[in-house]
Amino acid sequence: MKITKEIIENTAHLARLELEPHEVDLYTQRIDSILQYMDSLNKLNTDGIEPTSHAVPVECVLRDDRAKRSFSVDDSLNNAPGRIGSFFQVPPVIEVEE
């Protein structure tokens, strides 16, 4: 499928990326050619093949339900770009219609 500017813009929105107009053009062209290359995988028949998510097959190790010491509030907020008291501060979550 041909990658269009609209696809790039929609995908960038999903990824919460604003793009400059010249970036939209650049990524449209580049991602189109990369995806064409990736389409080469379709030459392979993979029916009945199990997908691999982890290369080394071991099972999940579990931990016991024991509470341990957490960060101090300052440790957790030290890097915050916005802070109010013990909270992280962010711009309003209500969407502004465009």
Partner 1 sequence: MENILDMTITELKGLLRKKEISSVELTAFYLERIKKYDGEILSYLRTTEDYALDMARQADTKIAQGEDAPLLGIPFGMKDILCTKGIETTCASKILKGFIPPYNATVIEKLNQAGYVHLGRLNMDEFAMGSSTENSAFQTTKNPWDVSRIPGGSSGGSAAAVAAGLCVASLGTDTGGSIRQPASLCGVVGMKPTYGRVSRFGLIAFASSLDQIGPLSRNVSDCATILNVIAGYDPLDSTAIPQKTPDYAASLGQDIKGLRIGIPREYSIEGIEPDVKKAMAESISLFEKQGATAVDITLPHTEYAVATYYIICTAEASSNLARYDGVKYGFRQTGKDIIDMYKKTRLKGFGKEVKQRIILGTYVLSSGYYDAYYGKASKVRTLIRRDFDEAFKKCDIVVTPVSPTTAFKTGERTEDPLTMYLSDIFTIPVNLAGLPGLSIPCGFDAGGLPIGLQIIGQPLDEARMLQAAYVFETERKVKKIPDKYSAKT
Partner 2 sequence: MRTRCIVDYGDYESVMGLEVHAHLLTDSKIFCGCSTAFGAEPNSHTCPTCMGLPGALPVLNKKVVDFAIKVGLALHCGISNKSIFARKNYFYPDLPKGYQISQYEEPICTDGYLNIYTDGEKKRIRVNRVHMEEDAGKLVHENTIENSAYSMVDYNRSSTPLLEIVSEPDIATPEEAVTYLKMLRDILLYLEICDGNMEEGSFRCDANISVRKKGSDVLGTRTEMKNLNSFRHVEKSLDYEIERQITLIKKGGQVIQETRFFNADEGVTYSMRGKEEAHDYRYFPEPDLLPIIVDDKWIEEVRKTLPELPMEKMERFMDEYSLPKYDVEILASDKELAHYFEETIKLFPEPKTVSNWIMTELLRELKDGNVSPKDSLLPPAHLAELLTLMKDGTISIKIAKEIFPEIYKTGIAPKKLVEEKGLLQISDESTIMKTINEVIARSPKELADFRAGKEKLLGFFVGQVMKETKGQANPKLLNELLLKRLKGE
> Residue numbers of the site for partner 2 (CB under 8 A)?
14, 16, 51, 53-54, 58-68, 70-73, 76-77, 82, 84-95, 97-98
Binding of residue 21 to partner 1 (CB under 8 A) = no
How crowded is the C-beta side of 14, counted as CA atoms within 13 Å? 6
| Two tokens, residue 24 | 């939209």
Residue 37, binding choice from partner 1, partner 2, none, Cβ under 5 to 8 Å by partner class: partner 1
In the complex, least distance from residue 34 CB atom to partner 2, rounded to whole angstroms: 18
CB-based contacts of 70-79 (< 8 A; 24+ apart in sequence) = none
Binding of residue 65 to partner 1 (CB under 8 A) = no
CB atoms within 10 A of CB 4: 11
